[in-house]
Structure 1
Amino acid sequence: MTKSLPSDLFQIGDLVNNTYRIEAILGRGGTSDVYRARSEISGRLVALKVLKTEFANNDDYLLLLTREEAMREIRHDAVVRYADNNRTPDGHVYLLIDYVDGPGLDKKLKDGPMAAEDLLVICRRVAQGLQAAHAHNICHRDLSPDNVILRGGDPAQAVIIDFGIAKDTNPGAETIVGNEFAGKYAYAAPEQMAGKTDERTDIYSLGALLLANFRGKSPDIGNNPMEVVKNKALALDTDGVPEPLKTLLDKMTDPVPDNRYQTAAEVLAALDGTDADTAKDEADDLSDATIIAPLPKKQPVAPPPAQAKPAAPDKSKQEPQKSRILVPVIAGLAVVAAVIGLFLSGIFSSAPSLPIADPYRLSMARAKDALPRAVGFVPSDVVADDIRERIRAANGTTDLTLASGAIAESWGTDILTILDAVDDLEVWRISISGNDVEIEGETTDKASYDQLQTLFETGTIGALQTDAAFRLNEIVIPAERLTPILKARADCGPLSLINPPAVGYGLGSEITVGGTMASQQSRAALSDALGAVAGDRQVNVAVDLLNPTLCLMESILPKAPTSAIDVAFYQGDNGNAPNLTGDFIVGENPVIDVQLPAEITTGYLSVSVLDVSGNVFHLLPNISRTNNAVEDLRNGEAGPQTIRVAHAVNSPRENGEIAFRVDDSTVGKSKIIVIHSSAPLFDEMRPTSESALSYSEALLAQEGVSQTEIYSLDSKILTTATR
C-alpha cells in the first residue's frame, strides 16, 4: 500500500464531507490520487478518486471525471462499480468508486508465474466484464496487470478497475482522458501506436497481460521507440505455454486485428468450445445475474427446542446428606468467581465504559506551510489533554475521541514521546494504527536529522512498533543530483535543467526543466520525482507535451541544427488572418507558410506534417508539387521569401496545391517540420500521405547511404481541438 505523505490532499483520519473517513492512500497518478475510505454512516469501504488541486477547477478535467462517472451504467460484477462525483467545501473534487479488496495482477506478477488453470479462469471473468463494457460502446484501452484485481485473491472474482482512459466507441465520442495515445506500451495492441482502438484492442491487451502473468515477468518490448514499433509488429512468444491457453493467447494477441477474436463473446465461446452467437445468447439470458446485488442477510439461528422439565427426584434414591451439602458450596464458589470476573471487567465500576475502536487509529501531521492537526482515537482524557496542549501550542486543531481498543498499556506515553521528538520539524506526519506507527518528516538541520535517525533506528518506541523515514532537506542541492532523475523520466527526447546555478539550488530557489515529454501524466510524475528531492524549492517542468507518435519521430528525424527558417499560420476562412498561436478547432482551415530568410538561396526544402493519428503528410514535395528546389521556389526573387505549402480552401489552386480542414480524427498536437538539405531527401517521391512507421523506415534506409547533407531542421507545433 502507498505511504501517506504530508503533502497529500487528504490525511489518514480525515472525514470527507462528514461521511467518509480516510483510512489509506491506494495510489497516486498524474491527475488524481486514490484513497480508501469508510462510510461513517454505513461502514461500507469505498475508494475516492480525487483530482489533484491544479485540475480541480479545470473544466476539461472535470468533464473527463464526469465521463468516467458515466461508467456506472455498466452493471457487471467483473467491472468495478462507479457512483457519482462530489466536491468538498474547500473545492476538492472526487469520484466515488467501490473498493475492491484483493491483490492486483501486478502484485501477482511480482510474486512469480501463475498457473495456466488460474489464468484461464481470469480470462473468462475479464472477458465477461469486457463484454459488458463493450455492449455500452466503452473500450478500456489500458488493460494491464495493475488494472485487474482478484477480489479476495480468487481468480474467479477478477475485477477490471480504472476506466480513467476508457474510450466511448460511438461515432464522434471523445476519449475519457484526451484523444492521444493511451495504454502502456508493454500491453498495448500494435494499432494503438497509431491511436486506433476498438474491442479487439482490449482483447489483445488481455492476452498480453495473461501471458506476462504466466511468465512471471513483464514483456521486453525494446529500449527505444523504434524498437517498440518494430517489436509490436511481431507475434508474442508463447513457446512453453500449455494448451488450451497457448492457442487462446496466440489468437488474442495476433498483431493483425482482423486475425484476432473480434469480440469478447468470441473469446468466451473459445473457452467454452461453442460458437460466439450461442455465447452471446447465453450472456443475454443471464444479464440480470450480472447486476451487483448485496450479499444475502444471515438468517437468525432458531433457538433449540424447549426441553421437558425434569421429573422430581425420587426421595428413596437421594444421595446422603453430605452430598447434598456439597452442591450448594460448589454453586456458591461459582457465583463468587463470576462476581469477581465481572468486577475485574469493570461492570461494577462507577466510571463509564468507553466504546471500542477497531481499527484503533490516530493521525497527527503538520503539512508544509500549514498548522498541525490531530484526528482519531485516544484512550484517556489525560492523553487527549497532553496531545491538545502540544498541538494547540502551535495554533493547531484537534478532533480526538475517547475509545478503548487493542493497544499497549504505555500507548499514550509512547505516542507523546514520538510527538515530542518530531514537534520541532517544519513538516512531519505520525500515522498510528493500534501499536504500529508510521513517522515521516523533513528538516534542514543535520544535527536534528542525526538525532532522529538514532532515536528510531531500533524500530520501537516503548511498546510501539515504528517505521520512520526522515529527509534531510539540504541547504544547497547540486544540479548533478537532479540529472539522473531527468534521464530516468525522459520519455520523448532528452530533458535538461534550464540555467542551473553554478553553486547549486539554494532553499527557496526554482528548479526549471526544459525539453519534450509524451503526456501530462509523465510530466506530473517527473514533477513529483523532483519534488521529492527539491524540498523547499519550486519545481517548474516547462516542457512541450507531444504524443507518442511525435516522440517516436523525435528519435528518428535527422540530427541537425535549427536555422532562421520559420513557419507561420493563418485562418483560411477569415481572410487569411494571422494565427499566432497555431491553435485551430475542428472545421477550421489552416493556411501554412514557410518563411525563408534572405541568406537561404540554394538547396532543397522538405515540409511535412506529423499528426497525432500516426500519419505523415508531405506538403512539399509531393506527387502534385514535385519541385522543391529553393532556387525554383524563389522564382528569381531575392531577400526574405514566403512559400505557401497549405492554402485556403476557397482560393483558386491550379497546380495541385494542398488545402485542408481540421477534422476530429486528428485532434491533438501535430508538428510541422521543415528540412533544408543539399539534395532531395529521397531517391524517389514519397506518397502525399504515409504512416509514421513507413516514413521512419525510409529515413533510416537513407541514413549512411545518401550523400545528402542536412543543413537544418526547424519545426512548429500545430494544435487542434474540438472546441
Structure 2
Amino acid sequence: MTESRAGDLFQPGDLVNNTYRIEAILGRGGTSDVYRARSEISGRLAALKVLKAEFSSNDDYLVLLTREEEIRDIRHDAVVRYSENNRTADGHVYLVMDYVDGPGLDQKLKEGPMSAEELLTVCKRVSEGLEAAHARNIVHRDLSPDNIILRDDDPAQAVIIDFGIAKDTNPGAETIVGGEFAGKYAYAAPEQLSGKTDRRTDIYSLGALLLANFRGEKAQAGANLLEVVESKKKPLDTEGVPEPLKTVLDRMTAPSPDDRYQSAGEVLRALSSARLGGGEAAAKADTPDDLDDATVIMPRAKEPETETATPKPSAPPQPMRPISDPPAQSKSRGGLMAGLLVVVLAGAGVGGYVGGVFDGLLGPSYPVVQPYTLVADKREGLPPRIVGYVPSETARDALAAHVADHQGEVELTLASGDIADSWGADVESVVDAAIDLEEWRLSVTGNEARLTGRTTDKALHETISRLYEAGLPGGLQGTAEIELVPLFLAVDDVQTILDSMADCGALSLINPPTTGYGPGAAIQVEGTVAGQDSLTGLNAAVTALGGTRPVELDQVAVLNPAVCLIENFLPIAPPSDIDIAFRNGDRDNAPNPSGDFLVGENPVIDVELPDNVQAGYLSVAVLDVSGNVFHLLPNVSRPDNDITNIRNGNTGPMSIRVAYSIPESSEHGGLAFRVDESTLGKSKVIVLHSDQPLFTQMRPTTESAAGYAEALRDQDRNAATQILSLDSRILTTLKQ
C-alpha cells in the first residue's frame, strides 16, 4: 500500500461526493492517482481513479477518461469492471471501478521469479480477458506487470486494469498523451514505436511481461531511444525457459506482427494444445485448435536437410514384363541390389517402413511433420469441420465423406509422422461415432487424442459412453467426455443467472414453466436494471444459457442510478393487492394506464387499497429521476399514515390520493407535480405497508436518494416494525 502524502488530493477519511470514504491511496501516475474507497451507501469497496487537478479541465485527458469508462461494455472476470465517471463540487474528475484485492505482477516481479506453471495460468486468464476486449475492438496498448493484478494472489484470477490509453487512436506519450507512442518501452511491441497498434500488440506485451516475471527481472529495452529501436528488431531471449512456456512466448513476442499469434484466441488454443500434449512437441503445434482461424502450414520434408525441392509424386508403376533370363551383367547387378536391400532391412527394420524410406517402392511419399495434429469439431447450429494432417488418401477421403454428408468443411494435408499404423482408421471411427452429437470436438496431437461433446439424446450418450469407456480406439491414447444435457432448461438455473446480474432490484421470470424451458420456449424476464449496459449484459448471459431459446426482456425497465441506489436498500417484502394508479391532472384526472407523461403534464397518483387491507401504516415515496426522494405519505403536511384513520370506517376497496392535480393542490393543499425537461426518464413510486410506523421520526418531504438509503438502514428504522408488503410502479416522463 502506498503511503499518503500531504500533497495528495484526497486523504484517508475524506468523503467524496457524500458517497465514497477514502481509505488509502493505491498508486500515483503521471496524470492520475488511484484511491481505495468504501461506499457509505452500500459498504462496497471501490477504486477511484482521480485525474490530477492540472488535467481536469484538459479536454484530451477528459476524453481518455471517458473512453476508459466505456470499457464497462466488456463483461469478463479478467477485465476490471468500470461503473461511472463523476466530478466533485470543486471540479475534480474521477472514475469509479471495482477494487481488486491482490498483488500486481509488478509486486511479484520484485519478489523474484514466478514458476512457468503459474505464468501459463496467468497467460490463459489474461488472454481470455483480451479476447473479450478485442471482440469489441478495444486494444489495451499498455500491458505491463503493473496493469495485471492477481486477485487473492491467485494466478487463475488475474485481472487486467488501467485501460487509460485503450482505443486512443492518437499515439500517446510513454503512458498516455503526447510524444511518439502509447505504452512502456520495455513491454511495447516493435510496431508501437511508430504508432501502429492492433490486437497483436497486446499479445506481444503480454508475452514480454510474462518473460520478465519468469526471470524475476524487469525487462530492459535500452538506455536510449536508438537502443530501444535496435533491440526491438531482435527476438526476446527465452533461453532457459521450460516448455511449453518457451514456445508460446517465442511466438507471442516475434518482432514481426505477422509471425505472432494473430489473436488472443490463438494463444488460448496454443495453450490448450500445449497442455494436452504435455510437453514441447504439443507446444510447437502451428495448427490452431479452433477451426474458425485454422491455418494449415504445408509440411516440409525432413530429408534432405540441404535441399528445399518440393516433393514430387511417385512415378507410376511400370507394366509387368515376362520372366526371361537376363544378361549376365544385369543378373549380377540385380543380385547386388538384392543384397543391399537385405542389409537395409536388417538395419532399419519396420522403422524404415514407418519413416517412409521405402515409399518409392511401396507407395506415395509424404513429407514428415512434427507435431502431427488434427482437429475436428461441430458447434451448435454450424456444420462440422476438420483440419490437419492425415497419413493416406484413404483416411482423407473417409473423413471428407463424413463431413460432406453434413455439408461440412475439410482442409486436410497428406503427411507422414510418428503415429500408429491404424491412426487414420482410428480417427475416422471416432468422427463416425461423434458426428450426430449436437456439439463435439476431437483434438489429436500424434497419438494423443481427446473427444468432448454434448447431447440431449440419452440413447446416443449411452452408446458413445459405453463405446469409449476404456478409452479411445486402436493406437489413440485418450478419453471421451460426452455431457448429457437435459432437454429442458431448469428454471432455477435461469434464476441463478438473474440473481447474479441484478444491480437495481430483483429480476424474476414471468410465468416460468414448472417442467423447465423446452427447446423453443421463450425466457421472459421482468424487473429493473441500472443502465443500458446492464440490460445488454443480462441479454447476453441469459442467451448464453438458453441457447436457441428466445429471450424476451420487454418487461425489464432501465432505471437511473439514483433509483437503483434505493433499490439496493429497500426491505425485502412480498407484493400485495395494493395497486398504484396514474391519472392526468390536466384532463380532469382521466386515467393514464401507461404511466407515461409528457413535458408540461400534471401526474396524479392514487394508492388503491383492497378490502383486505384494513390496518397498519402506509409509506409512499417517489424516487425521482433527478436523484431526489419525495415522501408523499407521511410528510410534514400530511403526517397521519395510519390506515385505520385514513379509512375512517370505510371497509371496502378505497382510493387514497397521494399526488394531486394542480387545481386540487391550490384549493385543498397537498403535493402536486408538473413535468419539465430537467426531469425526463423513469421514476419509481413505492408503497410500503407495515404493521408499525416505518421510521422513528418524520422524514422531510424531499431528500436525497443517499439520505433516504441511509434512513432505510436499521439505525433509522423501528426495529420492531414488520414490513407486510412492498408494491411499486414506474412513472415515465417524456419529451413532446
Give the TM-score normalised by structure 1.
0.47
Give the TM-score normalised by structure 2.
0.47
| Greater RCO, CA 8 A, separation 6+ | 1
